[in-house]
Structure 1
Amino acid sequence: MTKSANPPEASAPDWPGWPEEARERYRAAGFWREEVLADVLARQAQRRPDAVALVDGDRRWTYAELASEAGAVAAGLHRRGVRRGDRVVVQLPNRAEFLLLWFGLQYLGAVPVHAMPGHRGHEISHLLRTTGAVGYAVADRHARFDYRTLAASVLEEHEELRHVIVVGDTGGLEGAVGFGELRADAPANSAPAPDRPDPGDIALLLLSGGTTGTPKLIARTHQDYGYNARAAAAACGLTADSVYLAALPAAFNFTMCCPGILGTLTAGGTVVMAPSPAPETAFPLIAREGVTVTALSPPMVPVWLEAYADRAPGTAELESLSVLQVGGARLADDLARRVRPTLGCGLQQVFGMAEGLINVTRLDDPEELVCTTQGRPISPGDEVRVVDGAGAPVPVGAVGELLTRGPYTLRGYYRSPELATTHFTPDGFYRTGDLVRLRPSGHIDVVGRVKDQINRGGEKIDATEVEGQLLAYPGVSAAALVAAPDPDLGERSVAFLVCAGAPPTVRELAAFLRGRGLAGYKSPDRIEAVDAFPLTAVGKVDKNALRERSR
């Protein structure tokens, strides 16, 4: 797809980066290197060219082949005008093409913008508009949804969008290019390198909270994300013998770099792409490929426990699995204690955020710490504070909000200078919005959140965004979305509505929101009709009272 319009640049700096003092300190400590993320493949292709780097079904790539293929993709993108600094929204499922395109963009110094498979027009338009993206990559179909229809609709709205890449059949989408065409006429080892990115350049854009619909965007640089991958891989004990199953969406920071895909490749291991974390899909892959480590969100843990407990006698599908990581939301202690006895592997809890800070339980931690905490920071450069509502430090063991800064934690959101004072302290600490308790060992217990956000099985729902959509429903005069506890998902969403007439059903409301382009997981799980909302002393909606009522 070719158009003449160029994406507008922000009138102010896109993001604040780190102050010079911090940059010098992180370099001196060896956290930051003069490397870019494309060097990960180049280095391993030189050191271990014949080792298997990537597996997707029956397809396999050695490190040499993966580097060559990514270079060919980069050449194809370059011929079509993609250049250093250009943003490309990548909305692909767990397929090898995700990584081939991702590294192809890294070779060019272009910036992948991670979108989730569940996002629809509302969310994709926001990403395109905020980033000024020149490209958009989709699968033809996935999970019974035709992404070519979505691509056609956003093409009409965004003049700056000049390239649409389809993995699979383009289906006649005007101007779209099939993924195979990007490299069809490119010779091997053909990646252009006339404009190598700087290690301090933005390497990728992640979404705040992982999956919010109109999310804040997080700029990660080559040097900070590269360090993130190395530090996480070291804390999690990854080596060249590690085989990582990417079962959660690859676009999640958890799957990508905690240590995930990038950490595994940094260590020289093998990444196996799984189309689903469901036991019937994941278990055979673990057995076939000798998977040693994988990651799940808490709702999948009881599913795996039940499935493996019900297996036929003598089944050893998980025999190779050494470590099961669990993160994205707090894992219940009783479930945590069942992992090793049932699955026969160690548990590693992970508590992190796309904004930076990652905490993990260590492989040699006592089992009680592993089962009851969410780990401790992966880097000696991570700085952690736990403070009360006034910003004063609380004693060890007391509950407070977690603040953090460090060599891979952002100092400001992408193209959102208005958030500088609300989300960051004057001395650069990020206000996570998480309520935690710090143990003497440095381990963190997550106990809740300050933010008005619902964590539905690891997918974060911004209440304010959904409330705005609910108010568009005919007859709804007021709306408030709150979380209710759920034993499987952690939290479910409850919509309190003031309506003129009968309130909509859950199904009716879901269809309405879907028609407005909202991702399906954001539709309320339950609806409560009320005559009026309870108010606080200053006249605001009392959401605490609504949460109590929703239980």
Structure 2
Amino acid sequence: MNNLRETSLEYTPWPSNFVARYKSAKLWQESILGELLKPHLNKNKLAIIDDHIGWTYQELERNSDLLASTFLKMGLGQGDKVVVHLPNCCALFELLFALFKIGASPIMALPTHRYGEISYFCEFTQAKAYIGSAQLNEQVNDSVLNQLIDNKLIKFGYTFDFNENFISLNHELKSQTDDLELLNKVKVVPSNIALFQLSGGTTGVPKLIPRTHYDYLYSVIGSNKICNINQNSVYLAVLPVCHNFPMSSPGALGVFAAGGTLVLSNSGAPDNAFSLIEQYKVTISALVPPLAITWLSAFETRKNEKNCPDISSLQVLQVGGAKFSFEAAKRVEPILGCTLQQVFGMAEGLVNYTRLNDDVETILSTQGRPISEFDEIKILDDDDNLVLQGEIGHLLTRGPYTIRGYYKAAEHNLKAFTSDGFYRTGDLVRENENGYLIVEGRAKDQINKGGEKVAAEELENYLLSHSSVFDAAVVAMPDEYLGERICAFVIAKTQLCSPLKSIDLNKFLRSKQLAQFKYPDRFEIVKSFPKTKFGKVDKKALRIQISEKLNKLSAQLSQSSIAEKG
């Protein structure tokens, strides 16, 4: 029987024959993420540093052991879900390793998430605890914690900062005597869910992606080999590290697996980043395209100045999360003096890299090839037939670190996965003769706003709940900096006493407490939507419409500017 039809399961495991195949090939190891630090404990090596503190591998291991044993005594343990809502800080990894060790599964909320998303994660997974930090935003953090507890969505509300209303992990809990004997009795199975990443899905709130210790570790170790991560590597994380890209590709976990050093910052601003690269001799960092372009422009301006920071230690700059334009890509090596590595992946699994020794054309014009020879790729046309090599089609994948189904989403899984377990990524790609992928766009109804994925349906549902909105359609509009921004087309109800205004819609959406990146950048109040021959809203026509309008406005501004100068 196909696993996707097992609707009673919270998540879909790999079929037994695939498990045997991956174990036989030594892809899946009998280890868990909580053991990553152990090989490096005798080196007195700096493992992690943020804006406030730094810890050696011994200190990070000790701190996570203490926290893990404390959690056990508080009633957290195997199978419990914990919503983790922290910025880039040492405490995040103290917490994650503690949860890995006791068999609890962190749900990796993003710093930009607010009560709308957090409450859903808690309720949907029946999470036992929420762990936040005032570093995100003291007012927001208190509001989220208070609402979760008032609505009885969690049993425990923890914070890593002092807060009179909630249990502080840095004070009351960690002042207790640790009990490593209790911790040593916990046996976590590698096939268990290690953590939940979040999809950038097209259907409302994010789907939860269950990643096991088996598959996530394999992805991390495989990435390390490709990216040449070793004990001398110093990785600067400026993207929110709860994202899959800076967490595991190879990211923070890759650094720990290799015995390197992780430098954490909550600002990717060039001056801050360049200073950290110089101070800690950073060798590798990862960015989304808009931030990479900002770095390039900033350093190009400063590189001939006397006080220009020394970033010569930087060997590799990874760029992923969205397609990096050829023109921007070819500026990386001449300006920053490092190798560009393009990364194209997804939190559901498949990760593609250009290799560090690839020729220049491959690095600049492709988004890489998969980690593993066990990654299976199909590129299909609209009728699910294989396309010819070089033709554009829908990307499907199956492999040792690509999930077989979203968490508690049996109905959606029937659409997102084929009957034989291939994941329909929603990406439109073509493959060259060397097996490298070139990303051509998205087939799914999703906006990629500088690497942040926004589901059109989620925003449409919120807009439709407005008392003055008759219909809504959300589409991507082009943006030179972010790649795409969000445009919401709205039809107002006819019986309104006064016209519906963009400012009212914006105010209404903000009352829903969504992540900042999800709010529309533009509203278009229209009388009707174009329709397809099947009577559905023609979003392709809407995308063309807004693109043409923006081009026209840009041309008018240019002509006006020329006239003023004349």
1:476 equivalent among 441, 463, 469: 469
Instruction: Give the superposition deviation at 1:118.
Output: 0.8
2:170 maps to: 179
Residue range with higher mean Cα deviation, 496-505 or 366-375: 496-505
Alignment match, 1:406? 399
Q: Match of 1:165, SS?
A: strand
Aligned to 2:279: 288
SS at match of 2:184: coil
Aligned counterpart for 1:201 among listed residues 185, 192, 196: 192
Residue 16 (structure 2) aligns with: 20
Task: Tell me the distance in 2 between the aligned counterparts of 1:525 and 1:212.
Answer: 20
Contact 1:204/1:220 (CA < 8 Å) preserved in 2? yes
2:404/2:421 contact within 8 Å kept: yes
Establish whether residue 349 from structure 1 lines up as the match of residue 346 from structure 2. no
Is residue 87–residue 135 contact of structure 2 (8 Å, CA) maintained in 1? no
The residue type paired with residue 434 of structure 1 is: D
Alpha carbons 1:463, 1:482 under 8 Å: kept: yes
1:105-504 residue pairs with structure 2 within 5 A? 105-143=99-137, 145-159=139-153, 161-170=154-163, 172-173=164-165, 175-187=166-178, 192-209=183-200, 214-311=205-302, 312-313=305-306, 315-500=308-493, 501-504=498-501
Which residue pairs with 1:7 in the alignment?
none
Selected match of 1:537 from 509, 533, 549: 533
Scaled by the length of structure 2, what TM-score is found?
Answer: 0.92
Deviation for aligned residue 1:201: 0.5
Structure 2 distance, partners of 1:474, 1:187, is 55
- Are the aligned partners of 1:351 and 1:359 in contact in 2 as well (CA < 8 Å)? yes
Give 1:210 deviation, angstroms. Answer: 8.7
Runs of at least 5 residues in structure 1 that lack an aligned partner in the other structure? 1-9
Which secondary structure does the structure 2 equivalent of 1:281 belong to?
Answer: helix
From 68, 85, 97, give the equivalent of 1:91. Answer: 85
Distance 1:211 1:186, change over 3 A: farther
1:286-308 deviations in whole A, cap 9, x for unaligned? 11111100000111012101111
In structure 1, what is the Cα distance between the partners aligned to 2:386 and 2:31?
37
CA contact (8 A) 2:37 2:256 kept: yes
Query: Are 1:81 and 2:72 counterparts?
Result: no
Partner of 2:48, secondary structure, is: strand
CA displacement at 1:537 relative to structure 2: 1.4
Q: How many Å apart are 1:510 and its aligned residue?
A: 2.9
Question: 1:312-343: per-residue Cα shift (whole Å, max 9, x none)?
Answer: 23624311110010000001110000011111
- Report deviation, 1:471: 1.5
**Correspondence for 1:70 among 64, 71, 75:** 64
Percent of matched pairs sharing the same residue: 43
SS in 2 for 1:294: strand
Once the two structures are TM-superposed, the CA of residue 58 in structure 1 deviates from its matched residue by 4.6
Which SS does the other structure have where 2:318 is aligned?
strand
Matched residue, 1:520: 516
Match of 2:33 among 37, 53, 56: 37
Q: Is the 8 A contact 2:342 2:367 kept in 1?
A: yes
Quick one: distance in 2 between partners of 1:133 and 1:220?
17
Residue 55 of structure 1 deviates from its aligned partner by: 1.0
Contact 1:53 1:269 in 2 (8 A): yes
Which amino acid is 1:25 matched to? R
| CA deviation vs aligned residue, 1:12-50 (integer Å, no higher than 9, x gap) | 2111110000000000011001111111112222xx431
User: Which residue in 1 is equivalent to 2:55?
Assistant: 61
User: How far, CA to CA, are the matches of 1:509 and 1:315 in structure 2?
Assistant: 45
SS of residue matched to 1:21 = helix
Q: Secondary structure at the match of 1:142?
A: coil
Q: Distance in 2 between matches of 1:188 and 1:319?
A: 46
Question: Contact 2:381–2:387 (CA<8 Å) still a contact in 1?
Answer: yes
Give the distance between the partners of 2:287 and 2:198, measured in 1 at CA.
19
State the alpha-carbon separation in 2 of the partners of residues 154 and 236 from structure 1.
Answer: 41
Separation in 1 of the partners of 2:181 and 2:61?
Answer: 10
Distance 1:211 1:35 in 2: 34
* 1:137–1:165 contact (8 Å) kept in structure 2: yes
Q: 1:452 to 1:210 in 2, by over 3 A?
A: closer
Q: Give the aligned partner of residue 3 of structure 1.
A: none
Distance across 2 between alignment mates of 1:204 and 1:163: 19
1:508-551 Cα distance to aligned partner (Å, 9 max, x none): 43332121122221111111111111111121111111111010
Decide which moves more: 48-57 or 227-236. 48-57
**Closer, same or farther in 2 for the Cα pair 1:60/1:128, shift >3 Å?**
same
Does 306-315 or 276-285 show the bigger shift?
A: 306-315
Is the alpha carbon distance of 1:208 and 1:230 closer, same or farther for their aligned partners in structure 2, counting shifts above 3 Å?
same
Please give the alpha-carbon distance, in whole angstroms, between the structure 1 residues aligned to 2:119 and 2:298. 39
Task: Tell whether the 8 Å contact from 1:33 to 1:223 is kept in structure 2 after alignment.
Answer: yes
Gaps of 5+ in 2: 1-5, 548-566
| Alignment partners' CA distance in 2, 1:370 and 1:192 | 46
The alpha-carbon deviation at position 212 of structure 1 amounts to: 9.1
3-state SS of the aligned residue for 2:289?
coil
Given that 1:129 and 1:158 are in contact with CA atoms closer than 8 Å, whether structure 2 keeps it comes out as: no
User: Secondary structure, in 3 states, of the residue corresponding to 2:29?
Assistant: coil
The answer to whether the aligner puts 1:100 opposite 2:75 as a matched pair is no
1:179–1:133 CA distance, 2 compared to 1 (3 A) = farther
**Whole-Å separation in 1 of the counterparts to 2:71 and 2:209:** 24
Q: CA deviation at 1:196?
A: 1.3
**CA contact 1:483–1:493 (8 Å) conserved in 2:** yes
Q: How large is the RMSD of aligned CA atoms in angstroms? A: 1.8
1:6 maps to which residue?
A: none
Matched residue, 2:3: none
Residue 546 of structure 1 corresponds to 542
If the length of structure 1 is used for normalisation, what is the TM-score? 0.94
CA shift, 1:51, in A, is 1.2
Distance (Å, rounded) in 2 between the aligned partners of 1:166 and 1:211: 32
CA distance in 2: counterparts of 1:279 and 1:27, whole angstroms:
44
Note the C-alpha offset of 1:188: 8.6
Q: Is the 8 A contact 1:123 1:213 kept in 2?
A: no
Query: Residues 301, 263 of structure 1: CA spacing in aligned structure 2 closer, same or farther, 3 A cutoff?
Result: same
Deviation, 1:142, is 2.2
